Amino acid sequence: MNEKLGKVLVIEDESKLARFVELELKHEGYDVILAEDGRAGVEKFFEEEPDIILLDLMLPQLNGIEVCRRIRKESDVPIIMLTAKGETMDKIVGLDSGADDYMTKPFAIEELFARMRVALRRNSSSHNSNVLTLKSLEIDLSRRTVNFNNNEIELTKREFELLVYLVKNKNIVISREQILNQVWGYDYIGETNVVDVYIRYLRTKIDDRFGVKLIHTIRGVGYFAKDEE
């Protein structure tokens, strides 16, 4: 018996390409699920819990960027975007939306397999720990603890969720509205400056305490957690 390499969800509306990729992947030893538009892709993701997703950018119903965002809210499953030639701007937006990698069509199938192996390996090694990091900051998602250079930081539930959201999206600027929707929920009614207030709490407990600058403000736009020097 061939050992299965994993379950792949292919979200692609070009049926010829989808069939070709399906056959090649099955031959290689993967299980394959196909979805031919963005909405079906998101549904199949939740039903089937694939190990990796190949996601076309231009799709009916929901485009690839939106599919990627929706899946990223729930999961860090590896996502490889498939883009048409010359969609350079789209590639960048694709990576910002949380895709792990992208490939330009047409591509060599061996190249796709290689990228998939890398993405799957990267994902399984980060899964073992369930820890998010930002420089010396470590967030343990299972234990719900936060450390900076092994100093424990005590956070309220809301502060913890805000920090997790920032670090999951590190190096990406996030607007106050996005933060409100994600951390407080769409039905939140109250002062919108609650975000600024909680950012200040986090800065006091992390940046000020340890003399670092992890949380950055882009005036008039929003906030981001910075990993790079």
Residues that bind Ca ion (CB under 5 A): 13, 56, 58
Beta carbon nearer to Ca ion, 44 or 205: 44
The smaller minimum CB distance to Ca ion, of residues 91 and 170, is found at 91
Cα distance between residue 38 and residue 30, in whole Å: 22
Nearer to Ca ion, 17 or 95 (CB): 17
Task: Between 90 and 138, name the residue whose CB sits nearer to Ca ion.
Answer: 90
Pick the closer one to Ca ion by CB: 76 or 101: 101
Q: Which residue is nearest to Ca ion (CB)?
A: 58
Q: What minimum distance in Å lies between the beta carbon of 84 and Ca ion?
A: 7
Per DSSP, 136 falls in state T
CB of 13 or CB of 24, closer to Ca ion:
13
Check if the beta carbon of residue 34 is closer than 8 Å to that of residue 43.
Answer: no
Cα(107)–Cα(97) distance, integer angstroms = 22
Euclidean distance between CA atoms 210 and 221, whole angstroms: 26
Closest approach of Ca ion to the CB of residue 54, in Å: 12
CB of 22: closest distance to Ca ion in angstroms? Answer: 15
Are residues 146 and 163 in contact, defined by beta-carbon separation less than 8 angstroms? Answer: yes
CA distance 162 to 213: 16
Name the minimum Å distance from CB 196 to Ca ion: 41
Q: Are 226 and 170 in contact (CB under 8 A)?
A: yes
Nearest one of 38, 49, 51, 50 to 12, comparing CA atoms: 38
Shortest gap between Cβ of 96 and Ca ion (angstroms)? 20
Supply the minimum distance, in Å, between the C-beta of residue 164 and Ca ion. 33
Query: In the chain, which ranges are continuous DSSP H helix?
Result: 15-28, 38-48, 64-74, 88-96, 109-129, 157-168, 176-179, 194-202, 209-210
